[in-house]
């Protein structure tokens, strides 16, 4: 619903005053509640569905495939209902999410590598059924849950099959054999190493001299700029980028001192979200 | 020659069913209550289809408006992870466009579009998992989605597929049967014996259509009863909420 200039001005005044009053009575550093389910799709290695009370709803499915090993082992696609395939939003979201996942050596250099020659190609496919505020936050939560629930088949030890082979000779990459897997799914191994959690993304909006986390669509309309922060390995890390949230009448920049404040907002609420997502399993 | 014994002499199919048995059928209404005006989810075996319905609402484009009746627009999205091997589908794929056109035409008969002129009804169907023909799942999900959105309709359309193993019709085929055998998708309006939708994949001998249709209509009635029960459950839960 489009807001009038008066309504926008009212919203902006209430958000920039002390104390900050948000339309849904949250604190500046409080996230909206989300609901999630995991392992919902029978045809995937891991899947999750995340819902937010504003009607945002997304489903993520993870599939893996054995391929010749190369550097680019993760594919991310985003499909948003109602938007065309060549629309900028799903494509830019997919790029950002791929960038975030590619910079996780915990999975790209570890769980996805089978041997010198073969690796798993991981496809993370996101379907956004509906959204009102920027879908990046629930997408990242859904990918978090889906990756956490992803299991890969257990690789069988190949040594017993070729006892006659000369073990002293080291194998070159070309000779690496085709991997064999255990067909018992209860023996499958989780993709994420023990104690490691996938990255989460947070959006923070700057409105005059205040910053608010997880802005609603109307809050983004009166904000000067919005940025997203990545939370990885228990700290804020790259990529941190400005986010195009459409043309707003107050368009401006993110002041450096607000950036520090935004940092601390993310640092305050990220561990709690991580914990609650983990405990829901 | 097929790798599978599609229909054994003892009368069993690849997944152990008899010729006239449906797969596990589960449906629910209002599964995405915040996201759209109407929503539903249908599971047929491992197939899974989610439907969200928006409208009747003001048309987004004036050019697509009809002054006499509501315009029904159907978009089918097939998720890349829905099949056994991952395949990315684009919305302008011929098969999907044909599917959405068929759905639009099928439901044009039962939706009382003249009651809401100058509006549009947008139906988004998301195929999350496909095991066999997706048409039947889409019809059932769309029917429940429209009912949940409160769109005035004459009756249900329940749909189910039939595959032909030589002369034996097999009800509700799975993906193995669908890929090996010619198959029909049949939709039935309400409790009538009339098929309002028949789509045949591959060629089917004329004298085998009758037994296939009979079996499909029987299956559709079972599906209709399950859907009807779920609609009543949803209605009661809404009534309870109003009373409170």
Pick among B33, B55, B81 to test the A interface (most A CBs inside 10 A): B81
Q: Which of A73-77, A220-224, B227-231 is least confident?
A: A220-224
Chain B hits for A85, CB-CB cut-off 8 Å, are 90-92
Confidence class for position B194, pLDDT limits 50, 70, 90 = confident
* Domains in chain A with CATH codes: 1-30+199-281 (3.30.230.70), 36-132+141-155+177-192 (3.30.230.70)
**What is the spatial distance between Cα B204 and Cα B211, in angstroms, rounded to a whole number?**
12
Confidence class for position B185, pLDDT limits 50, 70, 90 = very high
In sign, the C-alpha dihedral spanning A161, A165, A168, A174 is negative
Backbone angles phi, psi at B104, to 5 degrees: -60, -45
Give yes or no for residue A174 having a pLDDT over 70: no
Are B34 and A53 a contacting pair at CB < 8 A?
Answer: yes
pLDDT at A247: 63
DSSP run (H or E) holding B105: helix B94-108
Give yes or no for residue B61 having a pLDDT over 60: yes
pLDDT at A172: 55
Pick among B36, B78, B79 to test the A interface (most A CBs inside 10 A): B79
Q: For residue B47, what is the nearest residue in chain A, using CA coordinates?
A: A42
pLDDT at A17: 82
Beta bridge partner(s), residue B171: B162
Residue written as tokens 């309309």? A221
Dihedral angle over CA of B145, B146, B150, B153, nearest 10: -150
Are A41 and B128 a contacting pair at CB < 8 A?
Answer: yes
pLDDT tens, position by position, A25-42: 888 888 889 989 999 888
Confidence class for position B132, pLDDT limits 50, 70, 90 = confident
Smallest Cα distance from A120 to chain B, Å: 13
Angle between helices A256-279 and A136-149 (to 10 degrees): 40
Confidence class for position B129, pLDDT limits 50, 70, 90 = very high
- Which residue, B80, B174, B87, is CA-closest to B136? B174
What is the ipTM score, two decimals? 0.86
Q: For residue A53, what is the nearest residue in chain B, using CA coordinates?
A: B34
pLDDT tens, position by position, A78-113: 999 888 888 888 999 999 999 999 988 888 888 888
A-B Cβ pairs (cutoff 8 Å, strict): 81
Smallest Cα distance from B195 to chain A, Å: 31
Are A41 and B77 a contacting pair at CB < 8 A?
Answer: no
**What is the spatial distance between Cα A8 and Cα A230, in angstroms, rounded to a whole number?**
29
B82 Cα distance to chain centroid: 16
* A173-191 average pLDDT score: 79
More confident residue, A2 or B52: B52
| Number of residues that this document lists for chain B | 244
Residue written as tokens 């928006």? B54
Backbone angles phi, psi at A19, to 5 degrees: -70, 165
Confidence class for position B244, pLDDT limits 50, 70, 90 = confident
Q: Which residues contact A280 (CB under 8 A, 6 or more apart)?
A: A36, A38, A145
pLDDT tens, position by position, A257-280: 888 888 888 888 889 888 888 887
Tally of CA atoms within 13 A in the half-sphere of B104 that contains its CB: 18
Residue written as tokens 């069988």? A156
More confident residue, B231 or A207: B231
Question: What percentage of chain A exceeds 90 in pLDDT?
Answer: 23
* Domains in chain B with CATH codes: 25-243 (3.30.230.70)
């Amino acid at each position: 619903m489009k807001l009038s200039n008066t309504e926008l001005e009212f919203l902006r005044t209430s958000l920039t005053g002390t104390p900050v009053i948000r339309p849904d009575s949250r604190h500046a550093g409080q996230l909206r509640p989300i609901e999630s389910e995991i392992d919902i799709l029978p045809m995937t290695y891991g899947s999750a569905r995340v819902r937010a009370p504003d009607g945002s709803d997304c489903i993520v499915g993870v599939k893996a495939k054995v391929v010749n090993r190369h550097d680019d082992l993760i594919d991310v696609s985003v499909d948003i209902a109602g938007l065309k395939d060549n629309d900028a939003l799903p494509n830019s979201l997919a790029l950002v999410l791929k960038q975030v996942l590619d910079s996780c050596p915990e999975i790209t250099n570890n769980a996805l590598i089978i041997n010198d020659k073969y690796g798993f190609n991981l496809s993370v496919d996101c379907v956004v059924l509906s959204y009102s505020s920027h879908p990046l936050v629930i997408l990242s939560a859904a990918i978090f849950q889906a990756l956490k629930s992803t299991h890969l088949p257990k690789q069988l030890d190949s040594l017993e099959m070729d006892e006659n082979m000369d073990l002293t000779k080291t194998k070159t990459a070309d000779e690496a054999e085709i991997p064999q897997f255990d067909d018992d799914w209860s023996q499958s191994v989780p993709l994420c190493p023990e104690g490691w959690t996938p990255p989460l993304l947070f959006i923070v909006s700057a409105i005059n001299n205040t910053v608010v986390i997880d802005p609603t669509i109307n809050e983004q309309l009166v904000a000067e700029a919005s940025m997203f922060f990545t939370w990885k390995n228990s700290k804020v890390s790259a990529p941190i980028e400005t986010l195009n949230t459409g043309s707003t009448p107050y368009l401006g920049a993110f002041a450096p001192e607000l950036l520090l404040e935004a940092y601390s907002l993310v640092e305050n609420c990220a561990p709690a979200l991580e914990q609650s997502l983990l405990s829901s399993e | 020659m097929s790798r599978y014994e599609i229909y054994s002499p003892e009368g069993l199919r690849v997944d152990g069913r008899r010729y006239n048995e449906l797969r596990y059928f589960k449906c629910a209404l209002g599964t995405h209550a915040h996201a759209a005006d109407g929503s539903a989810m249908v599971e047929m075996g491992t197939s899974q289809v989610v439907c969200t319905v928006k409208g009747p609402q003001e048309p987004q484009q004036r050019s697509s408006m009809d002054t006499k009746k509501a315009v029904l627009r159907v978009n089918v999205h097939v998720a890349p992870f829905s099949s056994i091997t991952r395949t990315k589908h684009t919305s302008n794929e011929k098969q999907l466009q044909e599917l959405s056109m068929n759905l639009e035409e099928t439901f044009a008969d039962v939706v009382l579009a003249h009651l809401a002129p100058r509006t549009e009804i947008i139906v988004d169907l998301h195929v999350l998992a496909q095991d066999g023909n997706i048409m039947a799942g889409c019809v059932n999900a769309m029917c429940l989605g429209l009912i949940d959105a409160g769109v005035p309709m004459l009756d249900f359309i329940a749909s189910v597929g039939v595959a032909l193993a030589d002369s034996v019709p097999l009800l509700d085929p799975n993906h193995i049967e669908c890929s090996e055998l010619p198959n029909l998708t049949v939709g039935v309006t309400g409790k009538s014996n009339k098929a309002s939708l028949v789509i045949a994949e591959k060629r089917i001998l004329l004298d085998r259509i009758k037994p296939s249709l009979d079996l499909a209509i029987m299956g559709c009635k079972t599906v209709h009863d399950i859907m009807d029960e779920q609609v009543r459950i949803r209605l009661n839960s809404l009534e309870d909420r109003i009373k409170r």
